Amino acid sequence: MSKANTNQSDFHKDMNRIMVQLVPELESKFAATPMAYNRWKEIDETMDNGDPCFILSEENNGPRQDYIYMKKRKDLRAGYYHLLTQEAYVEVYYRLLRQAPPILPCCGNSGTRNVCTRKEFKKVKTIIYNRVIAKEPNDITAARFAHLSTVSVNGRNAAFGKAMYLPTLTTTLLLSTFTY
């Protein structure tokens, strides 16, 4: 189901190390980058070994391997979400945002752990954000999807701008030919 992470690049090793330092629950084969699975598990499914993908729990009873605890959030129930569910990455993303290093070194409080640079943090945040919006748990596909979304938004905006400009230009040209 997953490609082996035995030949990880130095980049992926660094990203995995930083991800675990920022959100310790990510120390799991199911969260390691590059993630490459066929599909997200639904919370009412079970894993191949019979473990549930969601464990209802109103209280955080400590860490569980391959799961992350999330308090109730809007439509998401409180409990432990397996790291192969997309819902788990909603919590990962919120936790990650709380761990952001200060913009300037002098601005952080003395209790903040500096586990990475802002540049490294931004890379990890991008990986996690892509997982939140991706249709499947595959980091390469998720990065491509995010890139295409950005390109298409800019393309749509450019096309919209051209659509607004061309009629004005055409009208101006036509009027200028008849004014003499």
Report pLDDT digits (tens) over 112-139.
Answer: 456 788 888 999 999 999 999 889 999 9
pTM over 0.75: no
Q: Which of 92, 93, 112, 94 is nearest to 104 (CA)?
A: 112
- CB neighbours of residue 115 within 10 Å: 15
Q: Which of 140, 139, 120 is nearest to 131 (CA)?
A: 139
Report pLDDT digits (tens) over 60-75.
Answer: 999 999 999 999 988 8
Q: Exposed (0-12), middle (13-18) or buried (19+): which is 52, by Cβ within 10 Å? A: middle
